Amino acid sequence: NAGVTQTPKFRVLKTGQSMTLLCAQDMNHEYMYWYRQDPGMGLRLIHYSVGEGTTAKGEVPDGYNVSRLKKQNFLLGLESAAPSQTSVYFCASSYPPNTEAFFGQGTRLTVV
């Protein structure tokens, strides 16, 4: 049972480049989330999805886009990367209601 898998684990981008982070879960969870984690800031919600074909904005959505075409996958896109997007990105999934979220291992992204 793989749980939540994030791809890639590490990436270095140049300012202005684009990329897509992939999150895949095999637990048949309805809800999926993208967070970023920065020192002293805690985990902050970027976007989330409450089911296949749905997406919604979290606390810090600017500069990111998401898609949930399949229930098991949640993609996070950066169209034009900026140094401020240097962070560790975590994907999570949960089966509502009132249940814990399971996290992936994270993607460390550096924008130079």
Cross-strand partners of 65: 77
DSSP letter string, 41-58: TEEEEEEEESSTT--EE-
Nearer to another protein, 80 or 105 (CB): 105
Cβ distance to another protein smaller for residue 17 or 86:
86
Stretch that binds another protein, among 12-20, 36-44, 64-72, 73-81 (CB under 8 A): 36-44
Q: Tell which positions 41-80 bind another protein, by CB under 8 A.
A: 41-45, 48, 50, 56, 58
What is 64-99 written as a DSSP string?
EEEE-SSTTEEEEEESS--GGG-EEEEEEEE-SSS-
Residue from 1, 2, 14, 97 in contact with another protein (CB under 8 A): 97
In the complex, what is the shortest distance from the CB of residue 55 to another protein, in angstroms, rounded to a whole number? 12
Instruction: Tell me if 28 contacts another protein by CB under 8 A.
Output: no
Residue 68 CB neighbours (<10 A): 20
